[in-house]
Structure 1
Amino acid sequence: MSISFPSLGTPDFTSPSYEPHPDGDSNSGCSIFFPDEAIYAGHPRFRNLVRNIKQRRGEKVVINVPIYKDINTPNPYQENFAQAKDGGQSALAAKPDHIYMDHMGFGMGCCCLQVTFQVIFFFFFLFKIYFCRKRKFVSLFFSHKK
C-alpha cells in the first residue's frame, strides 16, 4: 500500500483504494477520512495505539489546525460534513476557520510537512560543517565572535 502525504485523507489516497467506515464496530479510529487499512499493518502496536487512545478519550481524536487566510478563503471557512457517516460528530467537533482531522495518522503524517520546511536548514548545517572543516576562511563567516 502506498500513502502520499499531500493527499492524506482525501478520497482514494491509498493504493489499493479503501473507503473509511466511521460507523463500523471493527473500525479502530472511526475516522471519516482515514480507513483502518491505511494504518501500518507491519506491527500490531500502530492499530492498538489508535484503538487505545480512542478508548481512553472516550471519543475519536479531534485535530483542528488554523487555516492561513488569503483573499480567496471564504470567511468564515467551514468544512462541509454532509456526506460524513458519523452521526454529526465531525460537524460538532470542527471549529470555524480550522482544518478538521480525526485520526492519529494525520498527526504522524503532518510531521512530514515540518521536515519539508526544515530541509533548507539541514543543507545549511551540512554546508557549514563541510566548509568549516575544509577551509578556514569560510569559518570567518560563521564565527560567533563579537
Structure 2
Amino acid sequence: MDRHLAMMFFRLWTSRHKTILQCICYRPQWQGNDPIHFLHSNIDTLLLQHNCNHLIVVGDMNQHLVTRQFEDLLIEYGLNNPINFPTHISGSSLDPVITDLPEEVITCLPLGMFGSSDHSAVLTTISTTVVRNEATARVNWLWFRGDWDSL
C-alpha cells in the first residue's frame, strides 16, 4: 500500500469462524481516486490473504468527488452502502459504510456532531449469532465440605 494512503485494516472474528476484513479509510479531497483505486485493485487479494469472508469499509471517503469510481467499486464487488442519512453538516453523506454483508445484518445510525467536527458520528452495528455449546451435566464435588474424619 502506498504511504500516502490513510487506511487501517482489521480482521474481525464472528460466530462460526466467519471473519470480516474491516478497512478504516480517510480519503482527503485533494487525494483523487487513489484510495478507491487501491481497494478496487486489492479487495480480492486482501480477503484471501487474511482469510476473510466479508468486507466492511468505513470512514470519510468524500466519495461525492469521485462518484463514478466509487459506484464502480460498489457495483463490481456487489457492495452496498446502508447509510441513508446525511453525515455532514452540509446535508451530504460523505461517510459511507460499504459492505458485502446482508442488509438485515448491519444497522447504521447517526450519533450527531461531536466537538469541532463538521461530520456526524455513525454507529454501525453488525448482528452476529452467538455459537453456544450444548449444556453439559456435571458433578461439582465440594471437597472442603467432606466429612474427612469419618472417612
Report if TM-score (shorter chain) is over 0.5: no
Report the TM-score when normalising by structure 2: 0.26
User: Which protein has the bigger helix share?
Assistant: 1
User: Which protein has the bigger strand share?
Assistant: 2
Relative contact order higher in (CA < 8 Å, ≥ 6 apart): 1
